Structure 1
Amino acid sequence: MVLPDLIGPGRGLETLFQALPLLQHPVEIHLRGNCSDATRHWLETQIPDHWRDRLFLHPTVPNDELPARIAEHDIGLALEQPNPPSRNLTITNKLFQYLQAGLAIIATDTAGQREVFQQCPHVGRLIPPQSPADLATAITDLIQSPPSLTAAKQAAQTAARTQEWQKSSSSLVPISAPLPVPKRKPTVYPLPDMR
């Protein structure tokens, strides 16, 4: 599993770490992003002891390398919180990056992420926010059923191809093109006599 993001509190990691003891099968957790010494200390206090050897912290990479790094994994987690309201309404870049990399996705049920799952329902699982039990169940369902995991990954690849921004950009180009200059004579108003 992978979470490429700013690493720290309030980013869904608490829910992940609370879900780990509920898992019956070992998984690796890969976090990619900036991680200060204070954040590393926070992580050490959050992750269960017997899971520490399965947590891998990776530094950020240039944007052109990120898709390949994400694609090295099977499941992407988008554990967004519904507060503040703006976070509830948006769809984070990582969710789109998971689709493009062909990962199965486990995402929290925020308004923005629900919209993606309505268009692409087979890419993974939508779970309630801050629910370790539901997260553990979603992870278990995917890893215990290789056909389900493969189907979700294939659905993500299909969604990335059919939902690409470039496909809809052609309809945006005429809107953003320069407006034509009207071909009419300007109206001339006489100046008032100032004598």
Structure 2
Amino acid sequence: MQATFHIVLVTSGQPALNPRLVKEADALTTSGYKVTVIYQYWNAWGTEIDQQILPVKKWNAIRIGGTPETHKALYWITRVRHKAVKILIKLVGFKYWLAERSLSRCTFLLLKDALRQRADLYIAHNLAALPVAVIAAKKNKAKCGFDAEDFHRNEITNNPYHMDVRLKTFLEEKYIPKTDYLTASSPAIAALYQQLFPSKKAVTVLNAFPVVKEVSLPAVKAAEPLKLFWFSQTIGLNRGLQDVLSALKFLEDKQIELHLLGFIDKETRKQLDIIIQELQFANKPNIVFHQPINPDKIPLFAAQFDVGLALEPGFSLNNNVALSNKIFTYLQAGLTVVASDTTAQKQFINKNPALGFCYEKGNGQQLTAILKRLINEPGLLLQTKQEAFKAARNDLNWETESLKFLKVVEETIAI
């Protein structure tokens, strides 16, 4: 019966940049639904990874809005229009659909294609896609859902007068009440949206990953450097990297490698070098940079390391309550998790103390103490790595979380 249902997932990003969307599309397809993903070009390296991902998927992917390489005229027209909208919104406010247009280069092209897709359910995978899913569902007499991977109104700042906060608050309050379901990627995000929209039942679906069978149970290793790992789509300096650099300074006499995976621009690399210089290392720290790879391959890549770092500084309410996919990647890889004590991460470590350690965000000395202990107690390091590996195969995985998501979808379509 499910094969008769058509579900459309919408994002203003790309599949390679939204692993959660890909996991949901895969889960829906495996369950027998017809699935279409509508997306737009975001960047070149994401496109390269999309070219690896999409050909093997059983769902249909539609890219709209052109790229710098294909349909160039459309791409540049939409860029110019988007810049104009962002200027106009500062002058006249959120009327004339400027709010909806301001978050995405291709809002109305996404909507145009979504309307063409006669679906039973439309799922928005970021805030820019939310108006698209709601309007398409209304026009096509279907249902719609919103997956809140972040607490959007406070992604950048907590200042209620900031334009980004005002804009996203306006869109959330206009469209979330019109959705048929609401999921969130952490208990803390779900709680915040539940408080804002009490008529909605915000369901937590953790940002976990499928079990990676190629990763083996961590075993005792010969004496070698402690290998730290951190990754993101983009390497930036607002993600807590200063904490680990400070710890490396305190641990100069120890053999430690820091591996960073993600795209880094020249300016960020320059700023990172300045921070390292200011710390006045006697010997330059052993930092290895890795280019972005297919998200599906990150757990296996990460398995060569010892410690997975989740260093969020809590610079905004969202950054404080988000439970990033980093932690679940580290678990699949069998790494000891070392996390800053943001609300979401502290809750997770308190609930799963065998998997790793928490330190006070911004406190390099506390982080140093944890890393030093792992160096001095190899048995503890091995134990936490093995516990992480086991937890990822028992219940902290997408196989478990996808059942929650599919139940929400089934109940929504059945209404």
Range into which the TM-score falls when normalised by the shorter chain = 0.7 to 0.9
Kindly indicate whether the alpha-carbon contact (under 8 Å) linking 2:248 and 2:285 is maintained by their aligned counterparts in 1: no
User: Which residue does 1:34 correspond to in 2?
Assistant: 263
Paired position in structure 2 for 1:102: 334
Within 2, Cα distance between the matches of 1:171 and 1:8?
A: 33
Residue 25 of structure 1: how far off its partner (Å): 1.3
- What SS is found at the alignment partner of 1:52? coil
Q: C-alpha displacement at 1:50, in angstroms?
A: 4.1
The Cα RMSD (Å) is: 1.7
What is the aligned partner in structure 1 of residue 396 from structure 2?
163
Deviation at 1:19, TM superposition (A): 1.5
Does structure 2 conserve the Cα–Cα contact (< 8 Å) formed by 1:120 and 1:155?
no
Per-residue CA shift, 1:39-77, capped at 9, x if unaligned? 111121122444535111111111222111111100011
Residues 328 and 396 in structure 2, CA contact (< 8 A), matched pair in contact too: no
Q: Which runs of 5+ in 2 are unaligned?
A: 1-227
Distance 1:44 1:163, change over 3 A: same
Q: CA deviation at 1:118?
A: 2.5
Describe how 1:1-195 pairs up with structure 2 within 5 A.
1-5=228-232, 6-23=234-251, 24-47=253-276, 48-52=280-284, 54-161=286-393, 162-177=395-410, 178-179=413-414
1:120–1:159 contact (8 Å) kept in structure 2? no
Higher relative contact order, chain-length normalized (CA < 8 Å, sep 6+)? 1
What amino acid maps onto 2:304 in structure 1? E
Identify the range of structure 1 (115-124 vs 87-96) with the bigger mean alpha-carbon deviation.
Answer: 115-124
- Measured at CA, do residues 143 and 39 of structure 1 come closer, stay the same or move farther in structure 2, by a change above 3 Å? same
Query: Residues 152, 51 of structure 1: CA spacing in aligned structure 2 closer, same or farther, 3 A cutoff?
Result: farther
Normalising by structure 1, we get a TM-score of 0.85
Q: Secondary structure at the match of 1:2?
A: strand
Change (3 A) 1:88 1:56: same
* Aligned-partner Cα distance in 1 for 2:374–2:346: 19
Change (3 A) 1:81 1:145: same
Runs of 4+ that moved beyond 6 A: none
Shift of the alpha carbon at 1:116?
Answer: 1.6
Name the CA shift for 1:36/1:171 in 2 (closer, same or farther; >3 Å): closer
Question: Larger deviation: 84-93 or 51-60?
Answer: 51-60
SS at match of 2:375: helix
Secondary structure at the counterpart of residue 29 of structure 1:
strand
- Report the structure, 1 or 2, having the larger strand content: 2
3-state DSSP class of the match of 2:390? helix
> Matched residues, percent identical?
31
Is the radius of gyration larger for structure 1 or structure 2? 1
DSSP 3-state at the match of 2:235: coil
TM-score (norm 2): 0.41
Structure 1 residue runs without a partner (length 5+): 181-195
Distance in 2 between residues matched to 1:125 and 1:74, nearest whole Å: 13
Q: What is the CA distance between 1:83 and its match in structure 2?
A: 2.2
CA distance in 1, matches of 2:322, 2:230: 17
Which amino acid is the alignment partner of residue 238 of structure 2?
Answer: G
SS of 2:256 mapped into structure 1:
coil
Instruction: Pick closer, same or farther for the CA change 1:170–1:15 going to 2, 3 Å.
Output: closer
Contact 2:249 2:281 survives alignment (8 Å): no
Q: How far has the Cα of 1:172 moved from its partner?
A: 4.5
